[in-house]
Structure 1
Amino acid sequence: MAPRFVRSTLLAASLLALVPACGQKEVRPSLDLITVACAGTPPLEGATHLRFRVTGPGLDAPLERVSTVDWMAEAVPALPVGRARVLEVRAYAGAPDQGGQLVSLGRSRPFDVAEGQAAPVRVFLRRLGAFVPVNLASSPGTCSVPAEVRAGHTATTLPDGRVLIAGGFAPRVDGARPVSGSTEVFDPADGTFLPGPDVGPRAFHTASLLPDGKVLLTGGAESFAPVSLQRTSRFVDLGAGTVSELAPKVARYQHAAAVDVDGHVLLVGGRTADGSPVFTAEAFDMASGRFVDVAGEVRRVDTSLAVLEDGRTFLVAGGADTAGPVPEVLAVGFAGTDLQWLAHVPPRLRVPRVGATVAVLGRPEESPRPLLMGGFDGVDPARGARAVGASELLEDVRTVSDGPSLLPRSQPCAVSLPDGRVMVLGGRGTDSGATSATAWAELITPHPGARPTVLGLKLLPQPHAWHTCSALPDGSVLVVGGVDDSTEEIRAPVEALVMMPPPRD
């Protein structure tokens, strides 16, 4: 029997009876259920029951079993042979079939089941809707902290579920902002932050995940006193343990980047070291492994880039030119290495904005669309520009529609979840012309044929701006770094946070 207040590790390698239909034996996985948190409310506080639920390809319906929190090995469903199984554990206050309240949730990463082999499975049980520090699997009561404090960095979720955290600057109370060239790799399977390769000092750069699983880091500032730009890109292959150096055509920072299904990385906007706008577009071509010239200019700074469901159409939305915010949404795509303009009459945003964020809303079967969120309705809050609360759906190359109303802020961190929802965290709000970090958190849910709905989440433990948020394989979100300038003293969040949103079903 596993005590309800400690980490539970039950190994069950016994095989069950033959499955008559296929002659294969079912296997009960070896479950390492972590029910301890290093801070905050324990996942099992107030819980009385657990529901074990397995899904995956080839299963006509989820396999489910319910137990008390004092669970035994037999509570975990035995599984037929198959791939990409996911074991979900839900904790309830009260019996789930009698109106019990769901309080905690955890999911395994996908695993394969082979005949005669008990698959080892680990699940971190996490309190729903709470931002808590990351904890270690080897010592669940210990918080796992990144080696460096960062803001203006990137965090890229890799195909294997790990997160590559790169660059950024360290906010200091004296105003100094030293830039980092280091990386860290977060592994959600065990909660560790391990050092990665050096990529050259860079902040406010872009990180692009290519179809082959490699990451392209481009641009950024290499120092702020005075501002100087990083003139190289790094091609990071964590699988092979290699880093290659490339030279883009134009040095820039605070730009936008997006990747199509063929491995073209489009770069637009950004600024030079003296703050001048960069209107020269550029592209990286994965097939040739080099940067290629792109004909024509994209006259935008503080803009957003998105890719439509077809995987090949880029949309440039929001941003400003030398005259102010630009409402037109530009559609472009590649023909070989040449960029083509796809719409002669571009659609217009209802609210022109700069400093907006974009994330894809909807599962594959829900016609996923980019959702443009936040920003300012002008280029300078000190001169009356206000934070935008309206969001807009980029339907296609000709259509923009109204999205849900959100809390008004610029440059929030937005992340698409595996279940099609979008989580929006932090960002910069305005108060009497001054901007500062916010602690707001919202969850957006799509509804076919209807406008998406918004659920307000608990506030972040402290305001965050210039932070990152990354979707993890278990459906939770990792929040790393940032700046809190909401008070007179500049503070830098030290702990990495993880948040498990309420399930969609």
Structure 2
Amino acid sequence: MARGRGRRLGWKALALSLGCWVPGCASTGEDGPTVLLETRACAGTPVLQGVRYLRWRVTGPDLEPQVVFTPVEEGAAGAPSLAGGGRTLEVRGYTELPRAGGRVVALGRADTVARTSGDGAAVRIVLRRVGEYAPPVDAQGKCLSLGTARAAHTATLLEDGRVLLAGGFALDKDGRSTPLGVVQVLDPAGGTLRALPALNPARAFHTATRLSGGQVMLVGGETQTEDGPLPLRVAEVLDETGQASSRVEWARERSRHVAVVDSGGRVLVLGGVGADGAVVAEAEGYDSASGRLFPVATPVPRVGMAAYLLGDGQRIAVVGGSDGLELQPEVLVLAYQEDGFAPVAGGGVLREPRRDGALAAFGPSGRLVYVGGSSAPGETQTDSVLASSEFVFASEEPTAGATPQVFARSEPCAVTLLDGRVVVLGGRGFGPGGLVSDAHAELLVPGGAGEASGLLGMPNLTLSRYQHTCTVLRDGAVLVAGGVTDDGGERATLGDLFVYTPPPLD
């Protein structure tokens, strides 16, 4: 390929020529969906700064991967055909051609659905700088934010790639918390943040579970009364428009619990704190297809635990936590059998019991990694924060093996990227005055055959935080929203939104 066709443009001119508010940002769509390439940034490094070439890679069923390099000046006009349906398109911005030592500095991905060519469909790709935290951008090029600062809310990825943000609490200037009913839907690709009808009652420390048909069930949590926090038993089920389509009355009120849905649409709710401040032992289930609530015979008296749906879509691993007096080392595995959830084989015992750690799938083998946390059965103490991680599950046997040391912190968030790596962000660590919010960010990398797993440092968060949310978007980037920042003196809730795009493996 000839190097640089025609006049080379500066990054400011390129941003204008490729931004999707003017002609020239889209392919024609004659051989499939039109490609829209979005390159706007409202903060940080301009997306196209230093970019000379775009690499386009198309994959799909019964298709050999197609890779094309084009000069950046061509924009989306250089995109290969997406005809045939079911295609995935990745775009990378290179400083030079790879054979000349070029580096990847920008990345974007999009999935298409099965379509016939020439139907006028469009595929939007948001190109972002890799290794940087960048706020989502609206149609006017302005940074999007939550508007209302919050923590202990939920962020749920919807089937169409939007994110439903619900509830949480806000701190006033005196440090008092107020539960929030605010609900918003963020479209990271389209650059919109739309308010939806408020929750009733307002709640924080609840769970959000995505059901079929675009519904999201918000279970439990706590609201505020004159007598203090009040755990809830009423769940709200929001449809894809954000309207409350139904309410479900659970048997027990609970807050700070976990909820997981299996592939059959059955929701398992475990543990948490009840109205009397005691740990809830009773587990409950809900069949979203029939609307049936059912008890679970196995008690799980835990708070500060984590739960994860395993790769078969049937078994749910419950890891860590405390009954309020002692840490629980046993890893439980439950699955739906006959008319309820029951324990099944697998699990094992934690080598280092903990609560308030983060649990994520790690690599292609089905392992889970449990990161950070606290060794105290009750309130986290400065000397109880853990700097370790642990493999807790692989196939049907517990896994041993070296796992990366991490920065000591509890309540981090950990999410699994599309390639099996795990991003760990924020949490609570120790500072000169005791426990403070943490700004560290780490990337856990699975090892190859016979190789140890690795840990890569990432840029620290701009603001330290805990009780925030981390959500992997459909394009593989990570959305971070809100949380509490605490320097050991003042505490404040955050209203920011930003997206982190990890560098690719290859």
Q: Is the 8 A contact 1:428 1:437 kept in 2?
A: yes
Please give the alpha-carbon distance, in whole angstroms, between the structure 2 residues aligned to 1:109 and 1:224: 46
Match of 2:195 in 1: 195
Q: How much has 1:197 moved relative to structure 2?
A: 3.3
Match of 1:472 in 2: 473
For residues 459-503 of structure 1, what are the alpha-carbon distances to aligned partners after superposition, in whole Å with 9 as ceiling and x for unaligned?
111101000011111111111110101252223322200111111
Q: How much has 1:105 moved relative to structure 2?
A: 1.0
Match of 1:132 in 2: 134
For residues 428-460 of structure 1, what are the alpha-carbon distances to aligned partners after superposition, in whole Å with 9 as ceiling and x for unaligned?
113478322111111222245343322211111
Please give the alpha-carbon distance, in whole angstroms, between the structure 1 residues aligned to 2:271 and 2:130: 39
Match of 2:279 in 1: 277
Q: Residue type matched to 2:203 in 1?
A: R
For residues 341-372 of structure 1, what are the alpha-carbon distances to aligned partners after superposition, in whole Å with 9 as ceiling and x for unaligned?
224x961101100111111223xxx2323221
User: Which moves more between the two structures, 283-292 or 466-475?
Assistant: 283-292
Superposition pairs of residues 15-414 of structure 1, within 5 angstroms: 15=30, 26-27=31-32, 29-61=33-65, 63-71=66-74, 74-79=77-82, 81-117=83-119, 119-136=121-138, 138-139=139-140, 141-200=141-200, 201-223=202-224, 226-238=228-240, 241-343=243-345, 347-362=348-363, 366-379=364-377, 380-382=379-381, 384-402=383-401, 403-414=403-414
Please give the alpha-carbon distance, in whole angstroms, between the structure 1 residues aligned to 2:398 and 2:490: 44
Q: Residue type matched to 1:375 in 2?
A: G
CA RMSD of aligned residues (A): 2.3
Match of 2:4 in 1: none
Q: Residue type matched to 2:384 in 1?
A: A
Q: Residue type matched to 2:51 in 1?
A: A
For residues 378-422 of structure 1, what are the alpha-carbon distances to aligned partners after superposition, in whole Å with 9 as ceiling and x for unaligned?
224438423242232322454133432222211111122222222
Q: Residue type matched to 1:167 in 2?
A: G
Match of 2:14 in 1: 4
SS across alignment from 2:494: coil
Unaligned runs of 5+ in 2: 1-6
Please give the alpha-carbon distance, in whole angstroms, between the structure 1 residues aligned to 2:204 and 2:154: 8
Please give the alpha-carbon distance, in whole angstroms, between the structure 2 residues aligned to 1:149 and 1:73: 37
Please give the alpha-carbon distance, in whole angstroms, between the structure 1 residues aligned to 2:392 and 2:428: 21
Q: Residue type matched to 2:421 in 1?
A: R
The percentage of counterpart residues that share the same residue type is 38
Q: Is the 8 A contact 1:154 1:167 kept in 2?
A: yes
Q: How many residues align?
A: 486
Please give the alpha-carbon distance, in whole angstroms, between the structure 1 residues aligned to 2:306 and 2:331: 10
User: Which moves more between the two structures, 177-186 or 379-388?
Assistant: 379-388
Q: TM-score, normalised by structure 1?
A: 0.90
Please give the alpha-carbon distance, in whole angstroms, between the structure 2 residues aligned to 1:85 and 1:238: 25
Q: Is the 8 A contact 1:391 1:406 kept in 2?
A: no
User: Which moves more between the two structures, 117-126 or 314-323?
Assistant: 117-126
User: Which moves more between the two structures, 37-46 or 109-118?
Assistant: 109-118
Q: CA 1:454–1:383 in 2, change beyond 3 Å: closer, same or farther? A: closer
SS across alignment from 2:474: coil
Unaligned runs of 5+ in 1: 16-25
SS across alignment from 2:445: strand
Q: Is the 8 A contact 1:248 1:291 kept in 2?
A: yes
Q: CA 1:196–1:370 in 2, change beyond 3 Å: closer, same or farther? A: farther
Q: Is the 8 A contact 1:12 1:118 kept in 2?
A: no
Q: Residue type matched to 1:76 in 2?
A: A
Q: How much has 1:184 moved relative to structure 2?
A: 0.6
